[in-house]
Amino acid sequence: MQGKIALEEHFAYKAPDEDITRRLQHAESWIETSRRLMDFHDDRLRDMDEFGVEYAILSLNAPAVQAVLDPKEAAEDARRYNDFLAEEVARQPDRFGGFATLPMQDPEAAAEELTRCVKDLGFPGALVNGFTQRDVSDSVIYYDIPEYRPFWAAVAELDVPFYLHPRTIVRERAQPYDGHPWLYSSGWGFAVETSIHMLRLIGSCLFDEFPRLQVVLGHLGERIPFDMWRLDNRIARVPHGYPAKHPMSHYLRNNVHMTTSGNFSDPALRCTISEMGIDRLMFAIDYPMEVMNAGAEWFDGTPVLSEEERQIVGRTNAARLFKLERFL
């Protein structure tokens, strides 16, 4: 399919070497991934041309700003990264957009930076790499707590989507993965962290307060679609004070969108469409953590989608959600 819009495509401000000790067993592939993270206008564009990706909204690699402990430093870093991305997007505005990086250590600063990115830089939304750390290395702060309500009010007022992207659990809290490093990050841990974060947002009544707020999850929903019926059933039977007005599936189907990033599976795609509906699904690759041809060729050929549905998922839904009128 030509004309795809891709939504979880990453860049790095400088060589992302902080994780290399965890990747030594695949050092050569990580070096190549690192190189591609810093490339905007050469291999990335050639791959997009070859595999039918017309437009990509770019985002900073994880965990980036979310791992900065000092709130002031995080705010300065976010501004610098966003200005850098805006400069790169301006070189190819017909091919690239940008997701805002936000200093979630300080909700007020995050709201201010998002406002600047949307109004001054023209970014169509934000992508945040999961929970944030602040002040001490073993801190884990999720955005359902009351201090973030003014931030979410700003997101709702700006009427832009918020992409909740995974990150690894902090090492001080990673005891369940002891002795099993293959589960620690993207193989399993990413989905665990992101799905619990999403369900916390729902359970905090966030979407009752801001019913138009829209959140995006990658990887075909971080395994949530498979358990939507069970979530509703068990919470209804054993509520434990569940405070939201509606079952979780209501908010998932009305306030959440999901992408195909890094999960090129026909059965998982069928499940996601069955639970969420075709209008809540969008195309993404997770480049360069995934190679572009794998995601694009799978999507172009999967028998799960009709050709009409391929256009809806590959282009139309993203154009509508992110107000990319020229692609409609």
Residue 19: active-site member: no
Q: Catalytic: which of 77, 106, 144, 286?
A: 286
Q: What is the pLDDT along the chain (328 residues), one digit of tens a residue?
A: 999 999 999 999 875 544 444 444 455 677 888 889 999 999 999 999 999 999 999 999 999 999 999 999 999 999 999 999 999 999 999 999 999 999 999 999 999 999 999 999 999 999 999 999 999 999 999 999 999 999 999 999 999 999 999 999 998 888 999 999 889 889 999 999 999 999 999 999 999 999 999 999 999 999 999 999 999 999 999 999 999 999 999 999 999 999 999 999 999 999 999 999 999 999 999 999 999 999 999 999 999 999 999 999 999 999 999 999 999 9
Q: For residue 184, what is the domain's CATH number?
A: 3.20.20.140
For residues 71 and 81, what is the distance between their CA atoms, to the nearest angstrom?
15
The tokens of 29 are what? 């592939």
Question: Phi, psi at residue 83, to the nearest 5°?
Answer: -65, -40
Statement: the pTM of the whole predicted model exceeds 0.75: yes
Which residue segment(s) compose the domain that 265 sits in? Answer: 4-327
Strand partners, 10: 59
Burial track 260-282 (b if 16+ CB lie within 10 A, e otherwise)? bbbbbeeebbebbbebbebebbb
Q: Are strands 132-134 and 136-141 parallel, antiparallel or unpaired?
A: antiparallel
Q: How many domains does the chain have?
A: 1
- Measuring CA to CA, which residue among 229, 233, 291, 246 is closest to residue 46? 291
**Is 95:55 a contact under the CB 8 Å cutoff?**
yes
Of the candidates 138, 139, 124, the residue with the CA atom closest to the CA atom of residue 93? 124
